[in-house]
Amino acid sequence: MGLFARSAPLTDQLVLAALSKVQEPELGGDLVSRRMIKELRVTGGTVSFTIELTTPACPMKEQIQTEAEAAVRTLPGVEQVTIAFSANTRNHAGIPEQAPIPGVSNVVAVAAGKGGVGKSTVAANLAVALAQEGASVGLLDADVFGPSLPLMFGVRGQPEAYQNGQGEAVMIPLSGHGIKLISVGFLVDESQPVIWRGPMVSQLLRQFLYNVAWAPLDYLIIDMPPGTGDIALTLAQSLPLTGSLIVTTPQAVATADVVKAMEMFKKVNVPLLGIVENMAYFEAPDTGRRYDIFGSGGAKRLSAQLDVPLLGEIPLGMAVRAGGDSGAPAVISSAPDAYAERFRQLARQLAARISVLKFVAG
């Protein structure tokens, strides 16, 4: 034997052994046993592979990339490491009697115990933020009596339709800021009120779910009607929901109604994904001083009381309001008081929460 032992050649097996020491930080288990490593190639000193995440909006993507690259670089002979990412959003479990929406992996209800808390603003910006993270996203405006989606996205016009193989009319959703959109506001004159009884509304919303060309989607966001009335309850019972996200403001009157909304979802076995506190505070742009206009700490108290995570706190900002009025959601703005990064953080937290709940459910 010579004075210097030659190191073993770099192989797929050696790379996988190194990656088996890298843990998935939220779901547990290592990247290899969880079958997250795809398209592994070793060419000389160059190693390339794809990590398949459970959601494009994974908040731990950078941590996983850093740890995976560090693990591979411990191997002798490695000169370059190239890591790509893909995502496979598992289909929602759903309640057995609820028909899944073809080609839609997750259906998330954004709800509120009362009106006026910014539920539609959160739903719109959440949808765009998920798309910015690389997900395919649709947004259904289920607030039939107060549709706001056309204004918030600056989209007008009527959806076109075609006949499917069963002879049914299928609507093609409109598009805005990379999101597939459906709203009753696209079908009726914006100056005319929608005066329909509950059964008509339920029939329309069912068409919006099953007779719209949604696929393929990672996430379909449902902007729910406020409160716990008949239409909201019917939707919660009949929709194939992955879970619900509850929007509130800090004030006591809003958080009291949130408890009722959360209880409604619990009674129909819909998982509670988390709480968002909107209009959490106002920060004066000239002085930087913080004002708790609607009180403070309401959502944190609810989170602790009901054991539901607080996924985000969105301050009150002029740019958030202006974006909703102009058809340009705040999350695409660079203005400091648009709080775009807060919405993106909310999207990542929500996506991670869905992935964890699905993993636990098996």
* pLDDT tens digits, 298-342: 888 888 888 899 999 999 999 999 998 999 999 999 999 999 999
Q: What percent of the chain has pLDDT over 90?
A: 47
- Which of 52, 87, 122 delimits the end of a domain? 87
Range of the domain at 123: 104-361
Q: Which residue has the tokens 């006026």?
A: 116
- The total domain count for the chain is 2
- Which of 87, 116, 141 delimits the end of a domain? 87
With respect to residue 1, please indicate whether it lies within any of the assigned structural domains: no
Q: Which residue in 258, 242, 260, 261 sits closest to 250, CA to CA?
A: 258
pLDDT at 127 over 50: yes
* pLDDT tens digits, 72-84: 999 999 999 999 9
Distance CA 292, CA 251 (A): 10
* pLDDT tens digits, 224-261: 888 766 677 777 777 778 999 999 998 877 777 888 88
Cα-flanking dihedrals φ and ψ of residue 46, to 5°?
-100, 130
Rounded to the nearest integer, the mean pLDDT of the chain is 86
Same domain, 199 and 327: yes
pLDDT at 164 over 90: no
- Which of 43, 59, 87 delimits the end of a domain? 87
